[in-house]
Amino acid sequence: MEMVINGVSTRKVRRITEELCGTSFSKSTVSELCKALDPEVSEWNERPLGAKRFPFVIVDAMQLKIRKNGRVAPQSALIAVGVNEDGYREVLGVRIGDSESEATWSEFFRWLTERGLHGVDLVVSDHHGGLVNAVKRHFQGVTWQRCQVHFTNNILDACPKRYQSALKAKLRLMFEAPDMETARRLRDDIMAEFADKAPRSVDILEAGFDDAMAVMTLPEPYRRRLRSTNGLERLNREVRRRERVIGIFPNVASALRLLGALLMEQDDEWATGRLYFRMDRYWEHVRAASASRSEPNLREITAA
C-alpha cells in the first residue's frame, strides 16, 4: 500500500515483492490489498470540521481520467484546504464529480458545511464560472479572492506577444502595491499605456481588478499567501506526480482511495509542522472591524 501511494506502479510492485520476498503479487491482488485503505480514508474525509473556525479557504479542482460504464471519462477532483483559527493548514476534504459545474461545486460546499465548516472570511479560487457562483451562494457575505496568478494569465493571453513581458512586470508591481490607493493608480497607468496596444487585456483587467485585489482588506502579513491558489496548486502537482503513474483509474473508488491517502498524509504533516500564519494580527483586525461596525452613527445620535 505504501509503495502504491508513493507512486510505484503495480507492475513494479510485483517485481519488487518477487525479488524481496520470492513471491509475486498480481495487479488484482495489489488492488485488493489497497482496498484496506478505504475505511481509513473515508473516516478522515468525513471527519467533523466544527471544532474550529476556518477564516481562510482555498479551493481548486484537478482533472482525472476514470473508467466509467466501459469508457474513459474525464472527472474532476474537487479539493479544499483551510487555514484554521490557530494558523495551521488542513485539507478539508476531496470529492470527485462529473464536472466543475455550479451544481457540482454547490454539492461540494454543502458537504463541507454539513461537516461543520464555519467562520469563513475569505475564499480563494480561480475564475471558473460555476465555482464562483457556488461560492457566492454558499458563502454569502464572505470575501471572494480571485487567484492573481490565473488572472495574470488571463490578461496576458489576450495581449500581443511583443507587449507581454512589459505588461507582466507592471501587473506584478500593481499586485504588490502596499495599499489600494497605490494599486488603483498603478492599474490606471497600465490601462492608459496599453489601451491601444492590448485593448482586450485592458478590458479584462478593468473587469476583474476588484476581485483580484480583495485580499487587500486583510492585514499585510496575510496577503501574499492568500492572493492566489499557488499553495493548493503545489499540493495538486504532488498528487499529479503519483497519479501520472496510474494514468487511467479503473473506477471512482480507486481514484478517491489514492487521492484521499495522499491528502490525508499531507494533512498529518501540516498538523504537526510549522504554523502557516500567526493569527494574532488577523484577530486584532477582526475585533477592530467589529467594533467599527458597532459604533453608533454620529448623525443618528445628533438626529435623536
Tell me how far apart the alpha carbons of residues 303 and 298 are, in angstroms, rounded to a whole number: 9
pLDDT band, very low/low/confident/very high, at 299 (cuts 50, 70, 90):
very low
Average of pLDDT values for 67-89? 92
User: Of 68-72, 149-153, 250-254, 299-303, where does the model show the most confidence?
Assistant: 149-153
Give Cα separations from 170 to 158, 186, 194, 230 (angstroms): 16, 8, 11, 20
Q: Which residue has the higher pLDDT, 295 or 147?
A: 147
In the chain, DSSP assigns E strands to 56-68, 71-83, 89-97, 122-125, 143-146
What is the per-residue pLDDT for 9?
A: 57
Q: What is the pLDDT of residues 98-129, one digit of tens each?
A: 888 999 999 999 999 999 999 999 999 999 88
205 grid coordinates: 483587467
Cell representation of residue 51: 471544532
Q: Which residues contact 118 (CB under 8 A, 6 or more apart)?
A: 49, 50, 53, 54
| pLDDT digits 0-9 by tens, 154-204 | 999 999 999 999 999 999 999 999 999 999 999 999 999 999 999 999 999
Q: What is the pTM of this model?
A: 0.85
Mean pLDDT of the chain: 87
Domains, the chain, with CATH or none: 2-41 (no CATH), 49-144+230-284 (3.30.420.10), 148-228 (no CATH)
Q: Which of 226, 247, 265, 225 shows the shortest CA–CA distance to 94?
A: 265
Average pLDDT over residues 52-73: 90
At 226-264, the pLDDT tens digits run 999 988 877 778 777 777 777 788 888 888 888 898 899
By three-state DSSP, how is residue 91 classified? strand
Share of the chain above pLDDT 90, in %: 61
Q: What mean pLDDT comes out for the span 31-50?
A: 84
Q: At residue 53, does pLDDT exceed 80? A: yes
Q: What is the pLDDT of residue 24?
A: 64
Given a cut of 50, is residue 298 above it in pLDDT?
no
Contact 229, 125 (CB under 8 A): yes
CA distance 88 to 96: 25
